[in-house]
Structure 1
């Protein structure tokens, strides 16, 4: 836990928008994620797409204003994003807006990093950036209309646990009557997998995040999740032969990024708490929050899991956990790996919380699990322990 007190926090009114680099980062992130989703980032022809041209123009202008050499073209700008930490760019950014080694594109694959996706998601310029929320809200509306909370829970589990579907998998989903309210939605969000994911007639999934791995020219595999890549070479999960897959489908990228990825952290936390003997409901009351945890004495915790790369973004988005379903204590939780990878993560979160969320604690998943174990074994009779 951070030792920062409310009196140490800067006023939330000191908005990041006062720094001209914020507008440039949001334009760049939106352009990079849009290009990656539609055309990829490996080849470009003039005229550039409008969002990409705006990103290039903005970067050139920022460089000229500071007497720095600007990128000469969009491919040159993409090289900057892949090779040059944003902290070294000639732009004005708040102190905690970026880390010293943060890149907008992965240096191996040239794909947007999780940080890039978070910049685009927090400061959206296009409908593409809102896609994950649109789909989740649509699922919520459909399941509420049917009065089927279980349908929504199973929909979320599908996105978290099965981001890749073979033809046989897709058939099993199509005959699962619990999912009836969202069947048409499911058809729209799973897309055919291109041949670029094949190596020697075989697809491979990541053993950690369950998404498809991309084969590298020099050998090995690449995982789209920053968290997995930081752990080293991908741990191979499911191997799927092309002839056995039928039409292989994968969940569209915005949902893999903002639902599957964080959902894996939720699922891992659920598993750890259930192993302790606790009763856990996932996404209760149509996703009021992520985990509703009941102890044997009736004490209840409410938990929202936030698997974010950027602690300042996380702090600025902090808000109290909804009051229903009822609970006795509430927490936001982040995977331990995020805190390990970025020193000062918890303190940065605390400093950036708005006034209405200054009492909302952020714990790591390992800390929460340890607290649950301590409450069960050492303070089981003491409420709030």
Structure 2
């Protein structure tokens, strides 16, 4: 269900800043351009959203008495090489960090933050595409009474974001996925030729998505977590002559389902390694992990792998009460907190009153707390 809780005053005050609608427009334009042209093949006339973004940026600069970009190529250069905090924009506290870019400086592709600005803001033309797909999958599986079909659908998006033609045929003929067969056909799209190097595609061994070849011979992975660990390790090599047409899950789902799903899978592995019983996406995805301790106590966990803590705070809501549990947590990967100073404080400032009692832990903190509880020691209280 969409969150209808009123925003806290701190978050609602964002509406008073003129730079925020512009960031939303820019992010939407960049994501759209990337899907259409890869950001390197645009010609006049520009797509409407891109022209609108350029016009609004020029106007914002003129209002601030600053030199505007001369055209779309220069605007794209700003997005790639100039931190948003250096732009002449009227932005509130918490909107951007000193290191935030809309385009990745190395690859020129939209950053995860850019996708969040495009997908998680109310006036976006591509608003919450991932949620629409997941809601549709839930509805179809519920109508058939097939909880296993939904669980397998989620595992498919998490573990197999890239499929060869043969694999795609096998998946779409898997009877377990019957309720969502047509949906699967719609969300796996042909891979652009920009991912090819020497006639082959290459996956990332860490996050399973496709790697983008760079001009200097290096690889670029679209996941923030992967890039912060250094050069992405090459996974499967997929020559076109062997795999035929390659398909990948569409970008919003890779961003908001596959990526967080990898964090969920890692957390599942860590907790089962402690000897705990873990059930994934119980009761048609009421929450992400249902964790049962040997004494019968149950924890409920929702994993949120988001780059922007204010967006995370504004989306905060109590964990669904069924299946029942004794304690509930939201969990964010530790690297998000490490990479953005004040992440937890920004989250707290922006969460609505209805979620004030919702603890936010890092994945490491949750695993450590579970280990302490298994050892019979006090867990030190709840982190807000």
Choose from 168, 171, 175 the match for 1:170. Answer: 168
Q: For 2:109 and 2:338, how far apart are their aligned partners in 1?
A: 23
The within-5 A match list for 1:141-152 is 141-152=139-150
Identify which range, 170-179 or 316-325, moves more after superposition. Answer: 170-179
1:372 match: 370
1:108 aligns with 2:106: yes
How far residue 226 of structure 1 moved from its aligned partner, in angstroms, is 2.0
- Checking the alignment, whether the CA contact within 8 Å between 2:212 and 2:221 is kept in structure 1 is yes
1:32 match: 30
How far residue 348 of structure 1 moved from its aligned partner, in angstroms, is 1.5
2:261 match: 263
1:285 aligns with 2:283: yes
1:331 aligns with 2:329: yes
Secondary structure in 2 aligned to 1:103? coil
Cα shift readout 1:129-162 (whole Å, capped 9, x = no counterpart) = 3321221111111101100011000000000000
**Structure 1's 344 and 380: CA in aligned 2 closer, same or farther, altered over 3 A?**
closer
How far residue 221 of structure 1 moved from its aligned partner, in angstroms, is 0.9
Cα shift readout 1:334-365 (whole Å, capped 9, x = no counterpart) = 00111111122112111221111111111000
Cα shift readout 1:164-184 (whole Å, capped 9, x = no counterpart) = 112332233133211111111
How far residue 377 of structure 1 moved from its aligned partner, in angstroms, is 1.3
Q: For 1:376 and 1:383, how far apart are their aligned partners in 2?
A: 15
Secondary structure in 2 aligned to 1:129? coil
How far residue 276 of structure 1 moved from its aligned partner, in angstroms, is 0.9
1:342 match: 340
- Checking the alignment, whether the CA contact within 8 Å between 2:172 and 2:185 is kept in structure 1 is no
Q: For 1:343 and 1:377, how far apart are their aligned partners in 2?
A: 32
2:65 match: 67
Identify which range, 184-193 or 97-106, moves more after superposition. Answer: 184-193
Choose from 118, 121, 128 the match for 2:119. Answer: 121
1:181 aligns with 2:190: no
Identify which range, 322-331 or 244-253, moves more after superposition. Answer: 244-253
- Checking the alignment, whether the CA contact within 8 Å between 1:20 and 1:91 is kept in structure 2 is yes
Secondary structure in 1 aligned to 2:9? coil
1:206 match: 204
Structure 2: 5+ residue stretches without partners: 1-6
2:4 match: none
Q: For 1:383 and 1:52, how far apart are their aligned partners in 2?
A: 49
Superposed CA RMSD: 2.0
- Superposition TM-score, scaled by structure 1 size: 0.93
Choose from 312, 315, 338 the match for 1:314. Answer: 312
How far residue 242 of structure 1 moved from its aligned partner, in angstroms, is 2.4
- Checking the alignment, whether the CA contact within 8 Å between 1:12 and 1:355 is kept in structure 2 is no
Q: For 1:126 and 1:381, how far apart are their aligned partners in 2?
A: 42
- Superposition TM-score, scaled by structure 2 size: 0.93
How far residue 34 of structure 1 moved from its aligned partner, in angstroms, is 1.3
Q: For 1:155 and 1:163, how far apart are their aligned partners in 2?
A: 11
Structure 1: 5+ residue stretches without partners: 1-8
Choose from 94, 97, 100 the match for 1:96. Answer: 94
**Structure 1's 355 and 383: CA in aligned 2 closer, same or farther, altered over 3 A?**
closer
Secondary structure in 1 aligned to 2:103? coil
